[in-house]
Amino acid sequence: MALIFLLYLVSFYFAYKNKKKLAIICFALSTFASIMMFLYHTTSTLDLNF
């Protein structure tokens, strides 16, 4: 999870430095990783015994 936030930070840094292509690539990678993490957590079963 920290890697996703780090990728967002890197993409914002590249945007600040006017490296638009690298910023878009990093932002797309981090968004894709966020969506994959969301899908993983929403499709996994949760075994609760009360």
**In this predicted model, what pLDDT tens digit does every residue of 21-40 receive, in sequence order?**
999 999 999 999 999 999 98
* Measured CA distances, 45 to 33, 35, 48 (Å): 20, 18, 9
- Average the pLDDT over 2-31 and give the result: 96
- Domain tally, the chain: 1
Whether residue 48 is contained in a domain is answered as: no
Whether residue 32 is contained in a domain is answered as: yes
Whether residue 15 is contained in a domain is answered as: yes
Q: Max Cα separation, the chain?
A: 54
Reply yes or no on whether the pLDDT at 46 is more than 80.
no
Residue 28: give the domain boundaries.
Answer: 2-43
Whether residue 14 is contained in a domain is answered as: yes
Contacts of 37 (CB under 8 A, 6+ apart): 1, 4
